[in-house]
Amino acid sequence: MSLILTASEIMQVLDMDLALAAVQAAFLAHGEGRVNNPPKAHLPLTRGSFKAMYGEIFLPGGHICGVKWNANFPENPRHGRLAIRGKLLLNDPDTGRELADMDATYITKYRTGAAGALAVRHLARADATRLGMVGAGGQAHTQVEAILKVRPIRKITVYSRTMPHALAFRDELVKKHGLEVTVAATEEAAVAGQDILVTTTPSTRPHVRREWVEPGTHINAVGADSPGKQELDPAILKTAQVVVDDLAQGREIGEINVPLRRGEFTVDQVYGTLGEIVAGKKPGRIDPREITVFDATGLAIQDLSLGFALYHLARERGLGEERDFLH
């Protein structure tokens, strides 16, 4: 029997605290070598793309494997449709039996935000209070929600190429969190003077310049998740402590992928993985004046860990529908 869970059922049990705990467990397992996480497969299409993300993870609560099939169609919002949506299948690695078939749209948003917050916890200065956001789409919302869990943010500056998006994002943050939020007229104004910077754009050109970034800044580079994408001036990477979620995947699709191919950055310049830091194998921030970068590409093990936690909570609360797809 497989437990079928819709997005509305998932949102009855999903919150950022659960996502943070699940993502921390995933990166701890990654750092301790308790995962099998091949790089994601990418299917480019005319108007969008699909990614297949699959893996295996040993968690304190059990051993799980599975696959997420995720769609990204950037033009969809113009027609009233979601740009990003997905499905997650969970399987028993010992028998192959399917345990769950669930919508992964909110799982993707929350686990990505949680990974950003986990990086902030280990790499940003403890006294960080100023947050700059370049990009005001769906992922920007969960990045802020998660970061507020780990740092006492007092002021947020938002930049978006689409001003209505920036204004709507500002209004939501003010209403929900009561924070001081400013909409910047330029990218530089959103970057300069920040303690933490989050970039969530689908850019294929570096648009955050090195001279804008002050000593001691931590950057979550979230937008680069496909070959050819990049948001940061390669000069930032050269002078920063660069941490990746997974080196094999980051080399192919992360913020470092273009600089690596162009010889503007080398693998030897990568400090390590977030999993190594979470597992205590390497320290996080070492110097309060250093620039740190987290290159977030999104790992299948994040989805599996959070999906497994949601599966158990949903069963406890009687959510979803048990179905047998085979006679």
For 265, the 3-state DSSP assignment is coil
User: If you write DSSP's letter for every residue of 122-176 in order, what string do you get?
Assistant: HHS-TT--EEEEE--SHHHHHHHHHHTTTS---EEEEE-SSHHHHHHHHHHHHHH
For 210, the 3-state DSSP assignment is helix
What residues are annotated to the active site? 68
User: If you write DSSP's letter for every residue of 39-99 in order, what string do you get?
Assistant: PPEEEE-SS-EEEEEEEEEEETTEEEEEEEEEEE-TTGGGGT--SEEEEEEEE-TTT--EE
Pairing of strands 49-59, 196-199: unpaired
What is the identity of the amino acid at 168?
A
Report whether 150 contacts 120 (CB < 8 A).
yes
Q: Which two tokens stand for residue 24?
A: 């921390």
Pairing of strands 62-72, 84-91: antiparallel
How far is residue 92 from each of residues 66, 147, 245, 308, measured CA to CA in Å? 8, 33, 25, 11
Question: What is the longest distance spanned by two Cα atoms in the chain?
Answer: 64
For 321, the 3-state DSSP assignment is strand
For 302, the 3-state DSSP assignment is helix
How far is residue 321 from each of residues 90, 177, 263, 307, 314, measured CA to CA in Å? 15, 35, 52, 16, 10
Report whether 220 contacts 197 (CB < 8 A).
yes
